[in-house]
Structure 1
């Protein structure tokens, strides 16, 4: 198979490179320099010229706060570009694997979010990501959408790397404890996408939820990062309103992964175990 990966310089894209290193399939890794997914003609040409069978879209506008003042760009990347990829997939009968977010939900319940729940995003980021989901569905292409949350990895900017730096350089820190979810190691999500592709489970179309197992607040997450990194910063819990933001974030966005586990026959790692793995990789990079 010929598999096109977009956004391959980001967190998930880099993990896809690692996952696919030994594949017998032909992976085509692109970022904006190689393929501008906001350009419909360029996308169509690439998909046709490379005889693409699967598109894995790892590209997204993910700056949640900035999106509030940058709707057009967020919509262009999260919605219109996703539609471009879906239309190209439809034209050549390829399958689109797309990554979405827990931010499509309001996050005002206290039970894990299921795929069938009504969506109600609170801000521009969630609104544009949900629009992207709907645009993909409307094209009639073959698709699998994986909603995820709290993504981190050894690559790019993310909460883990930020907290490692802050807890190493500050004596004390406040982190919100009233937003609850589950961290997701990008390597684990990449492994799922790789498995679905390599084992040709592409006929199991629909929307799926994936994060690591377990539940924690950002405060709990930060405490664990600090401890595993060998830092001694005094981290204190605080309320979200102590850090005013242009956008409201879901207060409870734990994702129910039952459908994914039953459909693809996978075990999902516990968030603390995956965090240990990532921090070990970061340490190895620093010592290399």
Structure 2
């Protein structure tokens, strides 16, 4: 196993926290996982200093340095009304980080999203499929991908979807909270995707990071990584109720038209694992198995509202 020294911007978020936990518990690894208050990725000098410090620490400890960017403006609705903030983090920040990695010769893994696609497919999206974001969030994340890939840095873009974890807000925690407040819930059944446990995604990113840092990363620079299988938000909610020990029939199906949101959500967000598998990387487990493990591992995080 490659001995890694990792810088993880966005380190207090769902995925960043899991990366920090895994690396922090791994002997022979170093990790610095600053939140946005500690490291603003749009600040060129601060980013350059952080990358240089990582390179020096890695050299001193005889480890391989890698940067894994999990920092992002992910508030889909807020981005529509404040596109400048989304662009600042998702585009400018990504470009600044990629340039610092290029200058320092460090590999970069950049986490992106299913929202770069239009969401109207009838089969899982391949990394090479035509993009077509329909939201500010999706557009800025796509522009961030392009900035990273065109920077000249030794970089990979990893798209994921429907992430939930023990840290921060997410659909699983929302369902648990609402389950404690309401007798019945209505959840849309015409939006399909792959729920992805942040801990599993973090493990996948670290497998890729080990190859990237060792200099034998895959040739394909855009990859997809989610838990396998797909479901609707409605069936996902029922599975959450099941894990909470509640009657899943309390969750009722409804259409997106019956539950309008400020910003349209993709009807189909399933990302293909083919390129990930072909790169020699380990596919993540089925989403339902991951959900069960998430509840077993972090009962206090997912049950405290119920």
Q: CA 1:42–1:149 in structure 2 vs 1: closer, same or farther (change >3 Å)?
A: same
Quick one: distance in 2 between partners of 1:132 and 1:265? Answer: 24
Q: Distance in 1 between matches of 2:278 and 2:284?
A: 11
Contact 2:36–2:71, Cα closer than 8 Å, also in 1: no
Question: CA contact under 8 A between 1:168 and 1:231: conserved in structure 2?
Answer: no
Q: Identify the residue that residue 249 of structure 1 maps to in structure 2.
A: 265
Query: Which residue of the other structure, out of 62, 87, 90, is the alignment partner of 1:78?
Result: 90
How far 1:22 moved relative to its partner? 1.1
Say whether the 8 Å CA contact 2:187–2:253 is kept in structure 1: yes
TM-superposed CA distance for 1:284, in Å, is: 4.9
Segment of structure 1 superposing worse, 217-226 or 205-214: 205-214
SS at match of 2:237: helix
2:71 corresponds, among 59, 74, 78, to 59
Q: Match of 1:18?
A: 21
Q: What's 2:291 paired with?
A: 275
- 1:134-213 mapped onto 2 (5 Å cutoff): 134-199=146-211, 200=214, 203-205=217-219, 206-213=221-228
Q: Specify whether residues 202 and 245 from structure 1 end up closer, same or farther in structure 2 by C-alpha distance, changes over 3 A only.
A: farther
Show the counterpart of 1:34: 38
Residue of structure 2 aligned with 1:88, choices 68, 83, 100 = 100
**1:256, distance to aligned residue in structure 2 (A):** 0.4
Cα distance in 2 for partners of 1:107, 1:139 equals: 28
Report if the CA contact (8 A) 1:171-1:232 is conserved. Answer: no
Question: In the alignment, is the contact (CA less than 8 A) between 2:195 and 2:226 conserved in 1?
Answer: yes
CA contact (8 A) 1:261 1:268 kept: no
Contact 1:123 1:248 in 2 (8 A): yes
Which ranges of structure 1 fall in alignment gaps of 5 or more residues? Answer: none
Q: CA deviation at 1:265?
A: 3.5
Q: Secondary structure at the match of 1:99?
A: strand
Deviations 1:39-67 (A, max 9, x none): 01111122123326311101111111111
Q: Which residue of 1 aligns with 2:5?
A: 2
Alpha carbon RMSD of aligned pairs, Å?
A: 1.6
2:62 corresponds in structure 1 to none
Q: 2:277 aligns with which of 261, 266, 285?
A: 261
**Match in the other structure for 1:216:** 231
Structure 2 gaps, min length 5: 57-64
TM-score (norm 2): 0.89
Match of 1:238 in 2: 254
Residue pair 2:113, 2:160 contacting (<8 A) in 1 also: yes
Distance 1:140 1:5 in 2: 20
1:168, 1:269 → 2: CA distance?
Answer: 29
Mapping of residues 92-103 of structure 1, within 5 Å? 92-103=104-115
Output the CA distance in 2 between the equivalents of 1:132 and 1:125. Answer: 11
Taking structure 1 as the reference length, the TM-score comes to: 0.95
- Relative to structure 1, is the Cα distance of residues 23 and 78 closer, same or farther in structure 2, using a 3 angstrom cutoff? farther
Cα distance change, pair 10–173 in 1 and its aligned pair in 2 (3 A): same
Deviating more after overlay: 201-210 vs 123-132: 201-210
Q: Offset at 1:24? A: 1.0
CA contact (8 A) 2:80 2:136 kept: yes
